[in-house]
Amino acid sequence: MTSALPLAGPTPLIDVHAHFFFEGCGRAEWDALNKARFRAGDRIGISIHIASILGSWGRFSPTYFASPADTTLGNDAMQAIAERHPDRVRWYVAVNPNDTDFALAEIDRRVAGGAIGVKLAAGRRADDPLVDPIAQRAADGNLPVLHHIWQHRRRHWPSQDASDGADLARLAARHPGANFILAHIGGGGDYEHTFAAVRDLPNIYLDLSGSGVDRGMLDDAYAAVGAKRLLWGADITLCTGLAKLWALEVIGLTSEEMADVRWRNAARIFSRLAWEPGTGNREQRLLGDTVLGSQRPAFGGRLPVPDK
């Protein structure tokens, strides 16, 4: 039975860390997974899913070391999904920094096709010089970079060259004009190390996603960087995403701060989002202008779309 009101409340909600799948990728149940994300997203009240696809999800090349062919395949599929669901899906262009020239060309081509951010996974450590041209391209294009992070990498983990908060902090310090989203503080590892590593980097935002729901994690993230640098996301466990939204409401965030975490911070840094609160998924049918009221962005509505 579908409830009438979203489980997370009626105000806008942007998931900055979503994934989709496609026919022929490494997940046979791809269609069920996509449908489940939309179903649960509707129940929660997600206005916009900002999503990526990492190559073929391992079918033809490793997820975290995707070949150029797989990168193209995944971005093709992601673009197609976004074009089929313009009311509720936006997307990152995913690239592997090891194929630098290809990655830069892919970013340019996909931004022209509607991508609003860049997804970097674990093909190269964040502080590797190979990542610099990508970070610079992201800065030039006002494209937030969602970077896969292992919270406090204390050893090598298989199948990825994972970065941690300290690695990303070094990259962010070199590129103060770019905005970086540190992926899934609940996605594995010691998040306390992350908070200490990025506290002083104003261009690093913490994405709350991941299956981890440790009591104290949200409090400490909030204490470390404040509500203006927190972004809500779910990644591959929407249930924990909903639990975190409910928890944020009881650990002391004000309604203004909740709005920041739910959508305003994302609307601010994704300058190409081109989404007007009240017109996204679910809220379009439930809200209307009057409910949103003062929560509209200060610039008065539709977000600016930079020149291509």
Partner 1 sequence: MIDINAYIGGYPFRHIPHPDPAILARVLEREGLDGAWVGHLPSAFYRDPTPGNDELFASLVPYPTLRPAACIRPDWPGWERALASTIDRGARAIRAYPSQWGLGADDVAIRSLCSACGEAGVPLVFTARFEDLRQRHWMDQAGDLSAAAVRAVARGNSRTRIVVCSAGRGTIEEVHWGLTPAERELVFWDISWIWGPPEDELALLLRTMGPERFVYGTAWPLRLAQTPRANLALLPDELAGVTLTDPSGW
Q: Which residues bind partner 1 (CB under 8 A)?
A: 1-2, 7, 32-34, 36-37, 39-40, 43-44, 150-151, 154, 188-192, 211-216, 218-219, 236-240, 242-244, 246-247, 250
Least distance in Å: CB of 3 to partner 1? 8
**Toward partner 1, which CB reaches closer, 23 or 101?**
23
**Toward partner 1, which CB reaches closer, 107 or 162?**
162
Least distance in Å: CB of 53 to partner 1? 14
Q: How many CA atoms lie within 13 A of 139 on its CB side?
A: 16
Least distance in Å: CB of 51 to partner 1? 11
Least distance in Å: CB of 210 to partner 1? 9
Least distance in Å: CB of 49 to partner 1? 11
CA–CA separation, 268 vs 88, rounded Å?
A: 18
**Toward partner 1, which CB reaches closer, 142 or 194?**
194
**Toward partner 1, which CB reaches closer, 64 or 150?**
150
Least distance in Å: CB of 33 to partner 1? 5
CA–CA separation, 281 vs 127, rounded Å?
A: 37
Least distance in Å: CB of 73 to partner 1? 20
CA–CA separation, 93 vs 70, rounded Å?
A: 12
**Toward partner 1, which CB reaches closer, 97 or 212?**
212
Contact 20, 34 (CB under 8 A): yes
**Toward partner 1, which CB reaches closer, 97 or 187?**
187
CA–CA separation, 120 vs 137, rounded Å?
A: 13
Least distance in Å: CB of 268 to partner 1? 27
Contact 18, 50 (CB under 8 A): yes
**Toward partner 1, which CB reaches closer, 136 or 211?**
211
**Residue 140 to residues 9, 111, 264, Cα–Cα distance (Å):** 36, 12, 22
Contact 76, 42 (CB under 8 A): no
**Toward partner 1, which CB reaches closer, 128 or 190?**
190
Least distance in Å: CB of 186 to partner 1? 9
CA–CA separation, 55 vs 59, rounded Å?
A: 9
CA–CA separation, 158 vs 141, rounded Å?
A: 33
Name, in order, each residue with C-beta under 8 angstroms of 134's C-beta and a sequence gap of 6 or more: 95, 97, 100, 103, 104, 107, 118, 120, 145
Classified as helix, coil or strand, 191 is: helix
Q: Which two tokens stand for residue 191?
A: 């998040």
Name, in order, each residue with C-beta under 8 angstroms of 21's C-beta and a sequence gap of 6 or more: 27, 30, 31, 33, 34, 53, 57
**Toward partner 1, which CB reaches closer, 132 or 220?**
220
Q: Left if phi > 0, otherwise alpha if psi is -120 to 50, otherwise beta: which for 155?
A: beta
